[in-house]
Amino acid sequence: MRGVNVRKNHHRRKGSLKVLDGINYILMGGYVILAGIVLFQMFRYNLLAFRWLNIIITVLAVLLAIGAGIFIKKKIAKVFTLLLLIFGITLGSIGVFGIQQFVSVTSKLNETAAVSNYTMSIAVLKDSEIESVSQLESVAAPMDNDQENVQKLIDDVQKQQKQTLTVTSIESYLEAYKQLQSGEVKAIVLNEAFENIIESEYPNHADIIKKIYKMGVKKKVKGPKVSKGNGMTIYVSGIDTYGPINSASRSDVNILMTVNTDTKDVLLTTTPRDSYVPIADGGNNQYDKLTHAGMYGVDASIHTLENLYGIDINYYARLNFTSFLKLIDLLGGIDVYNDQEFNAHTNNGKHYPVGMLHLNSKDALGFVRERYALADGDRDRGRNQQKVITAIIQKLTSAEVLANYSAVIQGLQESVQTNMPVEVMTDLVNRQLETGGKYGVQSQDLKGTGRMDLPSYAMPGSQLYMMEVSQESLASVKAAMTSVLKGE
């Protein structure tokens, strides 16, 4: 009887070991698939490519597979093999999830970079009896400087409402609004990007009109000019609206970030928003203040600055004031040195003393928006913006923030727009982790003379403050950019 029980136990153990063999084969297959996915994505997106870490991970993953394969083939250490494969699958699952999260979040920063959005509308006076485009025969619109978008709106009305509208050409959206207000025309076309221009002269314009028809327009943005070597130029644009980041809008912050990753030098060049320059693309290369370029889309701002400085802009990063607030919060505040005491009009009169200041999101926003209380007006505001950008760069390249890089990106994905590819972002992170240390940040700004008698292409007939660019300053700015790019 005892012998029978021994044989039964032997058969049970033998059967259990066969089951264990089958489980190990299944686990081996799962591990190989997961490891392959992780390694492919790691090299595809250039992740962990510093201090041979990606190579070390690859070697360890392969050794684990070889070791487990040998154990399975020789049918030895079956329990150990089981535990080893479970460990490998666990790490592989974490790796796949982490990489997918990182790529997904980072890619969202690129999603809107391919297009600029416009909202086109037809407006009438608020007390008008007109409630529908079917009651109209014509509209007034600036065909000379926004013909493409206006025509898309007219075509949409024809397609959606079966209504044919004729267009009376007017020199600007501002003039169209004036004629609507005076009763000279019954309806006008509005491009939302240009409404800030109307608001600058008529702050309550939105209370006087009603929009009876709207449509969205998407305009393709050209892709990045991939940088070669260790030098690159990034355009940092700060737009003056809240809400969707890819809405076309005036660009109040125009900073070129010239970066040399080899020498770890960063040069921030501020071009004041009022600089009087030829506006590219929709601006038809006519002279106007730089901030107006943003109304024609981010491409127009990029091409305007490329033409001005004779450089290639490789990538751009565009953020609005909403994202600015989020960024400062995510970084836990920033430290800047204020060399000019002032009270901010845009932050409930907050007092900013001379000295090192720790700024939270609200105070940082007040710091970069103020210009009226500063001795040199908009140029001093540009210098304060440089200080904040410098503080952000220093925080972003610190070890504690790099360790929380994914969370920073996650918090910004809906508020920042950039055409910098994921691979370039990870390469910059890898280089920083490889070499350590902080970037040296210098700053400069384009200078000129303020004038009130220069014509504006977007606002003809208006007397606007413009900065006539100093050719001596322009030459100096160009030389400094070239020096950083060459690593001199």
What per-residue confidence (pLDDT) applies to 244? 65
What per-residue confidence (pLDDT) applies to 56? 92
Task: Decide yes or no: CATH 3.40.50.2300 for domain 231-486.
Answer: no
Break the chain into its structural domains and give their ranges: 2-112, 115-220, 231-486
Segments of the chain with pLDDT less than 50: 1-11, 15
What per-residue confidence (pLDDT) applies to 8? 46
What per-residue confidence (pLDDT) applies to 385? 82
Query: What pTM does this model have?
Result: 0.79
How many residues comprise the chain? 488
Does the fold of domain 231-486 match that of domain 115-220? no
What per-residue confidence (pLDDT) applies to 254? 92
What per-residue confidence (pLDDT) applies to 389? 79
**Predicted confidence (pLDDT) per residue in 366-398, tens digit:** 898 888 888 888 778 888 887 887 788 777 767
Task: Decide yes or no: CATH 3.20.20.60 for domain 115-220.
Answer: no
